[in-house]
Amino acid sequence: MAGGVATRKAKPAKRRAKERASRAKVAAGNPLLAPWTTPFEVPPFDRVRDEQFLPALDHAFAAHVAEIEAIATQRASPTFENTIAALERAGCSLDRIADVFDNLAATDTNETIQAIEREIAPRFAKHGMRIYQDGKLFRRVDALMQDKTGLGLSEEQSRVLERHHRSFVRAGAALDAKARKRLAAIAQRLASLGTKFDQNVLADEQDFVLVLDTESDLAGLPEAVRAAAAQTAAERGSKGKHAVTLSRSSIEPFLQFSSRRDLREQAYTAWRQRGANGGKTDNRKIVAEILKLRAERARLLGFKTSADAALEFSMAKTPANVRKLLMKVWTPARARARQERADLQEAVRTEGGNFEVAGWDWRYYAEKVRKARFDVDEAEVKPYLQLDGVIAAAFDCANKLFGVSFKERKDLPVYHPEVRSFEVTGADGRHVGLFISDYFARASKRSGAWCSRFRAQHKLDAQEVRPIVVNVMNFAKGAPGAPALLSIDDARTLFHEFGHALHALLSDVTYLSVSGTRVERDFVELPSQLYEHWIQHPQVLRKFARHYKTGKPLPEALLNKIKAARNFNQGFATVEYVAAAIVDLDLHALADNGGLDADAFEQETLGRIGAPAEIGMRHRIPHFQHIIGVYASAYYSYMWSEVMDADAFKAFEEAGNIFDPAIARRLHDHIYSAGGKRDPADAYKAFRGRLPTPEALLQKRGLAPGGTSA
C-alpha cells in the first residue's frame, strides 16, 4: 500500500481526549472562530496560523452537530422552514473555516497543512455521514419529500428539498444499519485516498525540475519563454540558469519551441509519468482501491455502476447519452487528427528527420506547421498578451455584459503576497462581491487552474450575504522588471475561470445549496466556457492586446492570421480530451473493478477506440485529479457544456453585437445569476428559446462536415 494513511494506527481514546482538551484551550483567541471584523468580512489571513485550524475545526464540528440535533429532535412537525431552511443555515462556522483551509491547502501548502489535510479528510467524511445517516432527520426530510407537491414550494425551494433528500439517500439513510455502516466506512476511506492521491501528484510535480544549463539546452526557445524559464530557475534556487517545471504554463511552451528532441522527450515523459513513478508517491494502487470502493458504494445504493449513480442527477442523465455525444465528436476528431499527423510527419521529413512523430514532437511540429501555413508564431503573439491587459479585458467584458465594475483593494488581508483583491460593484453602485486573483505558479500550489470561494451568496437571513470568489492559475512570471506574458491558451484559461467567478459573483438566489456554481456538473462549464469566446474575438483583442514594450495594438494582419488559425490542431485537442473523457466513463462503468491495472486499462480502452498513440490522454489516470474529485464520471461535462456555449455565443453573433444588451440581460437572468434554482434545460431554454444540438460544437471546432480544414 502506497503512503502512510492506510497503516496509521488509531490513537488511544484517552490521548485523543487529552489532545481535544488542549485544542479547546487554544481555541480561545483563535481568529478562525472569532467574528471577522475585516472589510467585507474577508478571512483574516494575516492572523491565521496553521496550528489554529484543528482546534477551530473541532469547535465547528461540535457546533454543527448540536445544530443538527436541534433540528432533528424538535417537537414541531416538519416544515420546509424548520427543517430544510434550518439545514441550510447550519454549519456556517464549519463552512467558513473549511473554505479557508481548502483554499490554502490547494494554493500554498506545506508539510503542516498536508498533515492536517490527511487528518481531517476522513473526519469530514465521517461528519457528513453522521448528519446524512441520522434517522430522525431523514424521516423529517423524507416526509417533506413525499408531500412535496402539497407544500406550496417555489421552484427553487423544491430543488433545494430534492438536493437535501438526495444527500440522505446517497448516504444510505434509507438502507439498513449494516449497509449504512459500510457506506460510512467507504466514505472515510475514499476521503483519505483522495487526499493522498492529490498530495502524491504535487510531490511528483515538486520533485521534477529540468535545469537548462547551457545555451544549447535553450535552443529554439523564444525570448519570452527564456525569460519565464530564468524566473523559474531563480525561484528554484538556480539563479542565472533556466528551468522548466511540470506546470502546464512552463512545460507546454517548452514542448512547443525547444528544438532539443532529447530534452523534450525527458520533460514530456516526466509529465506523463506523474503519479506513476513507483515508490511512495505512486497513485496506481490508490486509483484501483478508489474505483473498487465506488463500485461497491453504487451497488449498495442500488445502481449497476458508479457511472449510473453519478449521472442520475445530471443533464445527460445516463452513461449511454454521454457516450453518444462523445462518439459523435470522436470519429470526426480522430479523422482530423490523422490529417494533422500526416502534416507533422511531412514537416519532420522536410527537416531531414528520420523518425516517426512521437508524443514529445507533436506540439513542436504543430507550431512549425502553424507558422508555415498561417504565418502565426505564438512567440510573436505573446508580447501583446500581458497578464494585466488580459485581466483588464476580462473586467471590461463583464462590465459591458453585466454592468459590473472592479476596483483593486490593497487594504485587504491576503494569504500570499502575489494575491490581489478586487471589489465588485453593480451598475447602481451596489456591492456585488469580492474577486480574489492568484495567478502565478509556485511549488506550494497544485497544478492547473480553478475557481473557488471563501463565501457563497445567499439570502437566508435578513441581511443578504454576498460572495467572495477566488481564481487560481499557474502562469509563469515574467523576467524581473518585465510583465508576465500569456499565450492565447493562457488568456483563454483566465477567461474560463473568470466565467466561473462571474457565475458565483452574480448569483442571486435565496438558498446556499443552489448558490452560484452549485448547479448540475454538466451545466457548470457553460458560464466559464462561454466567457472564453470574448477573449478570442477580434473586437476584444484589438482593444486589449498591446505590446508590452511599445504599447502598440496587435497588428491587424496578425489578428487575421490568428483568426484563420483558430481551428488549427483541433483534431489533436479534441482527441486528447475525448480520450480522457471516455477512459473516465469506462473506468466508472465497470461493474467490478477489483485489481484494476491502470496502465493496462488505459492501453486497452485507447486501443479499442483507436486513439493515436502520439496524442494520448489529456490527463493519464495516475494524475487525473478531476476524476478523483467531483468530476468522477463527469469529465465529459466540458463537452456537454460546450454544446451549449457554442450555441449560446452564436446568439450574440447572430445579433451582430457581441455585447447585445437584450441577450446579455437574458444571459444574466437565466444563467449567470440563477445558480441552480431551476432545472438546467429549462434555464437554457429560457435564455435561448430552445435547446442546442451538437452541430454548433462541431462547427466551432471545425469538425463539422464541410467545416474549414486546417
Contacts to Zn ion by CB under 5 A: 525, 528
Nearest in space to 398 (alpha carbons), one of 504, 252, 488: 504
The CA distance from 601 to 586, in Å, is: 9
Q: Helix 92-107 vs helix 53-73: angle between axes, to the nearest 10 degrees?
A: 150
Dist CA 435 CA 40 (whole Å): 11
CA neighbor of 1 nearest in space, from 230, 287, 384: 287
The values of phi and psi at residue 579, to 5°, are -55, -45
- Which one-letter DSSP state was computed for residue 458? B
- 562 and 373 in contact (C-beta within 8 Å)? no
Report whether 281 contacts 204 (CB < 8 A).
Answer: yes
β-pair type (431-440, 420-425): antiparallel
Rounded to whole angstroms, the Cα distance separating 572 from 560 reads: 22
| CB atoms closer than 10 angstroms to residue 608 | 10
Place of cell 473523457: 581
Measured distance CA(699)–CA(694) in Å, rounded: 9
Q: Which amino acid is it at 633?
A: S
Contact 647, 696 (CB under 8 A): yes
Is residue 537 within a helix (H) or strand (E), and if so which, with residue range?
none
Q: Are 486 and 477 in contact (CB under 8 A)?
A: no
d(CA 464, CA 458): 6
Q: Could you give the C-alpha distances from 586 to 15, 326, 604, 661, in angstroms and in order?
A: 45, 12, 11, 43
Other beta carbons within 10 angstroms of residue 369's beta carbon come to 17
Least spacing, CB of residue 574 vs Zn ion, in Å:
17
Backbone angles phi, psi at 479, to 5 degrees: -65, 160
Run of H or E residues at 58: helix 53-73
Cα 440 from chain centroid?
A: 16
Task: Give catalytic status of residue 497 as yes or no.
Answer: yes
Torsion angle of the four alpha carbons 599, 601, 606, 609, in this order, in degrees rounded to the nearest 10: 170
For Zn ion, which is the closer residue by CB, 246 or 501? Answer: 501
CB closest to Zn ion, residue no? 528
- What is the DSSP code (8-state) at residue 706? T
Task: Kindly name the residue from 252, 340, 497, 602 that is annotated as catalytic.
Answer: 497
Torsion sign over Cα 622, 625, 630, 636? negative
Which residue's CB is nearer to Zn ion, number 448 or number 538?
Answer: 448
The residues, ordered by sequence, that sit 6+ positions from 621 with a Cβ below 8 Å of its Cβ are 283, 284, 287, 583, 587, 598, 601, 602, 627
Any idea which residue has 512552463 for its cell? Answer: 250
Active-site residue set: 497
